[in-house]
Amino acid sequence: MDRQTLTALAHADHPISAPLNDRNVAEVLDRAIRRPDAHLLDLGCGEGAWLLRAVQEHDGVTAVGVDIWDAGFDATRADAERLGVADRLELVHQDVTAYRSDRKADVVLSVGAAYAFGELLPALAAARGHLAEDGVVVLGDCFWERTPSPELRAEFENGPQSYADLPTTVARVVADGWTPVHGHVSTPAEWDEYEWSWTGSLAAWALDHPDHPDRDQVLATSAAHRESWLNGYRGVLGFVTLVLRRTP
């Protein structure tokens, strides 16, 4: 089974690909959307779950999501049709680094997707380029809740991406010219819900499809992920979602 299909299965019960529960997703969107006709752009939107919530809960809001992975787009478009909001949600299958638009966004989201630009600051630079004058950025990224072992650091900081502790992470963002107007640090319960859902959805699918040729692979992927979480990054890796406005 290819990685895209596996990922789609893993997110079956948790369409947001980040450790936030529904209440906190709604809260972050409420804080970020400052006008009834706001236009949203999500750089690395996954299946588009944040945007579907936004257009569903905020009449008049329009949204464009961009992702290099489109396996979840059809299901989200079908949900949008069913909910009567399809005309306000567009999903674009493209590399975000190549995405260009003449339309500035009132809200630019990058949640768990800063790595598409290398890391946090280049992601903020890209968001700034797409942002309307008085716009808001929703940035979600990992940080180290506790000092990681060298092995864990190597596992999560491959390539240009590196993480810091929470105060340093926020200080980097502030030094880049942003003022946080809201923030949410994912709770241990949100992390557990996310990881159990990810690993559990895969395991349940494998057990429900005993004769499928990919069953063993899916079961093994679930078990490996669960091990690396429980014996590795649980309680060490954190996730913060910041609502940011430009510092005057």
Which residues lie near ligand SAM (CB under 6 A)?
A: 16-18, 44-46, 49-50, 66-69, 95-97, 111-113, 116
Q: How far is the CB of 140 from ligand SAM (least distance, A)?
A: 6
> Closer CB to ligand SAM, residue 17 or residue 199?
17
Q: How far is the CB of 213 from ligand SAM (least distance, A)?
A: 25
Closest-CB residue for ligand SAM? Answer: 46
List of residues 6+ apart from 72 with CB closer than 8 A:
8, 11, 15, 46, 47, 48
> Closer CB to ligand SAM, residue 5 or residue 147?
5
Q: How far is the CB of 94 from ligand SAM (least distance, A)?
A: 7
Instruction: Give, in degrees to the nearest 5, the angle at Cα 52 between 244 and 48.
Output: 80
Q: How far is the CB of 231 from ligand SAM (least distance, A)?
A: 21
> Closer CB to ligand SAM, residue 193 or residue 215?
193
Q: How far is the CB of 236 from ligand SAM (least distance, A)?
A: 18
Tokens coding 99: 């995405």
Q: Do 62 and 68 contact (CB within 8 A), yes or no?
A: no
> Closer CB to ligand SAM, residue 66 or residue 237?
66
> Closer CB to ligand SAM, residue 71 or residue 85?
71
Instruction: Please report, for the chain, how many H helices and E strands are present, in that order.
Output: 9, 7
Q: Count CB neighbours of 56 within 10 A.
A: 16
**How far apart are alpha carbons 109 and 138 in whole angstroms?**
5
End-to-end CA distance of the chain: 49
Q: How far is the CB of 44 from ligand SAM (least distance, A)?
A: 3
> Closer CB to ligand SAM, residue 161 or residue 217?
161
CA distances from 33 to 8, 30, 233 (A): 28, 6, 32
- Stated length of the chain: 248
